[in-house]
């Protein structure tokens, strides 16, 4: 199969002002950030701070750095070729598309269930609804499905920009309040300082949690394919396919925001929960109530609605983008399997129908998982985030091979620095996965 053509914008870039072109390109990066700032931040980052203080903050930053290249490859490939990573995997061979499809099929129901559960719990807490997790989750998925079915990508794009702006503001305020609460408490400051050398850091339990933390920090690597699809959809909406520079700027804005918010939630957990001796509840609704209680006790009950609202905005943004992403991926796989050209596929009457059918299937599958396993909330989160981490080396290798091989135009391939970072990240992911697998085979606890 021939190499895709180099970037050729859908609009005449010579007559369009640079600011207008950049504004047209902005959007997919914020969707990626919205998908990222969810379970990995609200649940796993907060737990990391609550249980280990500041000890894992460097690891969170390292994980975000080493995953950076593989996630950046998504918008890079879309901008350079005008096609998604899913199409790129097919160019590499059916085996590559098959691997990616297998990973997607094995995680899509549980991932959707996990993010929906947290959103449902927070919705019940904020609105005071005494309903089961399944009932609340049905409402959340129904609202997301309705927004996506009626508004298409345009509504998703607009809603996410508003949510992310509000989330950033509220989170900064919450961190500031938590820092202010430490004034005049030297014992609490000393305790946080000592947490950097936490005594439980070098245990098998901590290592298992670290893998779960990094699995979605800041987002699973299959999100690179989501990002490439959103980049193409944004181009169709605006009539402007971004240049590499524009797509890179959009990605950097979203990725930096997701990384900073990960640190912010870890700080909130450390500043308000570390040393309290509290354990997280097993159910999603109970977790939401406990989350609000701990923050309210530390910052004052007057700030409780602010914390819960920020958390709900975080999780709704994640659920909305995940519920959109998986149907897009399934549709792309089906259309590629039918050897359909992406430009023709967008005009095919069945294009939209395949998206809606996939959305319905994923929502129903997620509700089944919630109904069966929703009571084991934290175990479910740890399970799927660990699975995501173990799948990460495979996706990382696929993305690296695609972007450095003949399937990507030479001008768009990563430079020496980005390529070196990618190889370092791949070695890191493989090493940690091998250690985990070896430990399980040896029966380490």
Q: Is the pLDDT of residue 3 over 70?
A: no
Cα distance between residue 82 and residue 167, in whole Å: 32
Q: Is the pLDDT of residue 206 over 50?
A: yes
Q: Which fold has domain 18-441?
A: Amino acid/polyamine transporter I (1.20.1740)
**pLDDT > 90 fraction of the chain, expressed in percent and rounded:** 30
What pLDDT, on the 0 to 100 scale, is given for residue 345? 52
What pLDDT, on the 0 to 100 scale, is given for residue 161? 73
In the numeric block, which tokens belong to residue 310? 């920020």
Q: Is the pLDDT of residue 11 over 50?
A: no
Q: Where are the domains of the chain?
A: 18-441
Residue with tokens 């977790």: 287
N- to C-terminal Cα separation, the chain:
48
- Give the distance between the most distant pair of CA atoms in the chain: 67
Mean pLDDT of the region 385-413? 91
Q: Is the pLDDT of residue 359 over 90?
A: yes
What pLDDT, on the 0 to 100 scale, is given for residue 283? 59
Candidate from 77-81, 141-145, 160-164, 321-325 with smallest mean pLDDT: 160-164
pTM: predicted TM-score of the whole model, two decimal places? 0.84
Candidate from 24-28, 143-147, 325-329 with smallest mean pLDDT: 24-28
The closest of 296, 304, 217 to 35, measured between CA atoms, is 217
What pLDDT, on the 0 to 100 scale, is given for residue 203? 73
pLDDT band per the 50, 70, 90 thresholds, residue 133 = confident
Q: Is the pLDDT of residue 216 over 80?
A: no
Cα distance between residue 444 and residue 45, in whole Å: 25
Which H, E and C letters describe the chain, residue by residue?
A: CCCCCCCCCCCCCCCCCHHHHHHHHCCHHHHHHHHHCCHHHHHHHHHHHHHHCCCCHHHHHHHHHHHHHHHHHHHHHHHHHCCCHHHHHHHHCHHHHHHHHHHHHHHHHHHHHHHHHHHHHHHHHHHCCCCCHHHHHHHHHHHHHHHHHHHHHHHHHHHHHHHHHHHHHHHHHHHHHHHHCCCCCHHHHHHHHHHHHCCCCCCHHHHHHHHHHHHCCCCCCCHHHHHHHHHHHHHHHHCCCCCHHHHHHHHHHHHHHHHHHHHHHHHHHHHHHCCCCCCCCCCHHHHHHHHHHHHHHHHCHHHHHHHHHHHHHHHHHHHHHHHHHHHHHHHHHHHHHCCCCHHHHHHCHHHHHHHHHHHHHHHHHHHHHHHHHCCCHHHHHHHHHHHHHHHHHHHHHHHHHHHHCCCCCHHHCCCHHHHHHHHHHHHHHHHHHHHHHHHHHCCCC
Q: Which span out of 66-80, 127-141, 227-241, 424-438 was modeled with the highest average pLDDT?
A: 66-80
The closest of 389, 390, 395 to 422, measured between CA atoms, is 395
pLDDT band per the 50, 70, 90 thresholds, residue 227 = very high
Sign, CA dihedral 425-430-433-435, equals: negative
Residue 184 backbone zone (phi > 0: left; psi -120 to 50: alpha; other: beta) = left
Cis peptide before 11 (omega within 30 of 0): no
Judge contact between 248 and 72, C-beta under 8 A.
Answer: yes
What pLDDT, on the 0 to 100 scale, is given for residue 213? 81
Q: Is the pLDDT of residue 215 over 90?
A: no
Cα distance between residue 97 and residue 23, in whole Å: 33
In the numeric block, which tokens belong to residue 414? 């990563």
Q: Is the pLDDT of residue 149 over 60?
A: yes
Q: Which span out of 52-66, 150-164, 200-214 was modeled with the highest average pLDDT?
A: 52-66
The closest of 416, 344, 398 to 77, measured between CA atoms, is 398
CA 166 from chain center: how many Å? Answer: 18
Rg (CA), the chain: 21
Cα distance between residue 285 and residue 123, in whole Å: 9
Cα distance between residue 253 and residue 76, in whole Å: 14
Q: Which residues have CB under 8 Å from 431's CB, separation 6+?
A: none
In the numeric block, which tokens belong to residue 291? 């989350």
Query: Which of the two residues, 238 and 414, has the higher pLDDT score?
Result: 414
Judge contact between 117 and 374, C-beta under 8 A.
Answer: yes
Cα distance between residue 54 and residue 35, in whole Å: 25
What pLDDT, on the 0 to 100 scale, is given for residue 8? 46
Query: Which of the two residues, 265 and 276, has the higher pLDDT score?
Result: 265
Q: Is the pLDDT of residue 31 over 50?
A: yes
Cα distance between residue 373 and residue 385, in whole Å: 15
379 class by beta-carbon count within 10 Å (0-12 exposed, 13-18 middle, 19+ buried): exposed
Mean pLDDT of the region 118-126? 84
Angle at alpha carbon of residue 337, lines to 334 and 340, rounded to 5°: 90
Query: Which of the two residues, 343 and 401, has the higher pLDDT score?
Result: 401
What pLDDT, on the 0 to 100 scale, is given for residue 191? 66
Mean pLDDT of the region 206-230? 85
Q: Is the pLDDT of residue 15 over 60?
A: no
Cα distance between residue 255 and residue 249, in whole Å: 10
Query: Which of the two residues, 426 and 432, has the higher pLDDT score?
Result: 426
């Amino acid at each position: 199969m021939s190499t895709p053509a180099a970037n050729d914008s859908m609009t005449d870039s010579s007559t369009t002002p640079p600011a207008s072109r950049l504004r047209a390109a902005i959007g997919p990066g914020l969707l990626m950030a919205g998908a990222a700032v969810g379970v990995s931040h609200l649940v796993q980052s907060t737990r990391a701070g609550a249980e280990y203080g500041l000890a894992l903050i460097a690891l969170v930053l390292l994980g975000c750095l080493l995953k950076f290249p593989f996630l950046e490859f998504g918008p890079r490939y879309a901008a350079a070729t005008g096609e998604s990573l899913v199409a790129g995997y097919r160019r590499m061979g059916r085996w590559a598309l098959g691997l990616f499809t297998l990973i997607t099929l094995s995680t899509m129901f549980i991932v959707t269930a996990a993010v929906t559960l947290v959103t449902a719990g927070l919705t019940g807490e904020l609105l005071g609804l005494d309903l089961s997790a399944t009932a609340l989750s049905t409402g959340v998925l129904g609202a997301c499905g309705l927004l996506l079915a009626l508004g298409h990508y345009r509504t998703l794009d607009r809603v996410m920009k508003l949510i992310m702006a509000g989330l950033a503001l509220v989170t900064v305020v919450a961190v500031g309040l938590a820092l202010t609460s430490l004034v005049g408490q030297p014992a609490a400051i000393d305790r946080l300082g000592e947490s950097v050398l936490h005594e439980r850091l070098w245990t098998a339990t901590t290592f298992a949690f670290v893998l779960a933390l990094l699995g979605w920090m800041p987002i699973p690597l299959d999100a690179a394919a989501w990002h490439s699809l959103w980049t193409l959809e944004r181009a169709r909406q605006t009539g402007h396919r971004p240049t590499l520079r524009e797509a890179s700027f959009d990605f950097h804005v979203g990725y930096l925001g997701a990384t900073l918010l990960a640190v912010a939630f870890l700080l909130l957990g450390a500043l308000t929960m570390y040393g309290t001796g509290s354990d997280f509840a097993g159910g999603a609704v109970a977790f939401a109530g406990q989350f609000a209680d701990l923050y309210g006790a530390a910052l004052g009950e007057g700030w409780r609605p602010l914390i819960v609202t920020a958390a709900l905005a975080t999780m709704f943004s994640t659920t909305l983008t995940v519920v959109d992403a998986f149907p897009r991926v399934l549709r792309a796989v089906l259309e590629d399997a039918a050897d359909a050209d992406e430009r023709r596929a967008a005009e095919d009457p069945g294009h939209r129908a395949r998206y809606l059918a996939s959305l319905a299937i994923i929502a129903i599958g997620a509700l089944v998982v919630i109904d069966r396993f929703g009571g084991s909330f934290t175990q479910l989160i740890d399970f799927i985030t660990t699975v995501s981490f173990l799948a990460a080396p495979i996706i990382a290798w696929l993305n690296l091979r695609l972007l450095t091989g003949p399937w990507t135009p030479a001008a768009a391939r990563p430079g020496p620095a980005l390529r070196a970072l990618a190889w370092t990240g791949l070695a890191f992911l493989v090493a940690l996965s091998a250690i985990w697998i070896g430990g399980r085979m040896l029966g380490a606890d």
